[in-house]
Amino acid sequence: MRGELVAFDLETTGLDVETDSIIEIGAVRIVDGVVTDEYSTLVNPGFAIPQETTYITGIEQKDLRNAPTLAAILPDIAHFIGDAPVIAHNANFDVSFLKRFGLLSGNLAIDT
């Protein structure tokens, strides 16, 4: 594929975009088919994550203790993604979480 896009994936505390939180984000920028940059961080949601979340993601509460909050990294995520098209598995789910926080307002989203 020619051009630029950002492939990303989120891990969350659950499936409800209104009440659950992002606990991990990973993204790569791809330009003309070549990965040119990477971004990855755990995210401290500010509350204890459900055991089911740990079971599904492998992320434990202790892993998040010293992680930045989402508010602290939102500017970094916005800068990394910019206005590039984004691609994700089950994109509607991941995109809805980022849109909740004002990101991806005009980005083309591609589902895998």
Here the contacts of 18-26 (C-beta below 8 Å, separation 24 or greater) are 18/100, 21/45, 21/46, 21/47, 21/70, 22/70, 22/97, 23/49, 23/53, 23/57, 23/59, 23/64, 24/57, 24/59, 25/73, 25/77
Q: Which CATH superfamily is domain 4-105 in?
A: Ribonuclease H-like superfamily/Ribonuclease H (3.30.420.10)
DSSP-derived 3-state class of residue 14: coil
Q: Which among 84, 75, 87, 91 is positioned nearest to 107, based on CA atoms?
A: 84
**How far, CA to CA in Å, does 106 sit from each of 21, 42, 49, 64, 98?**
22, 25, 31, 30, 12
Overall pTM surpassing 0.85 (yes/no): yes
Q: What is the pLDDT along the chain (112 residues), one digit of tens a residue?
A: 689 999 999 999 999 999 999 999 999 999 999 999 999 999 999 999 999 999 999 999 999 999 999 999 999 999 999 999 999 999 999 999 999 999 998 999 999 9
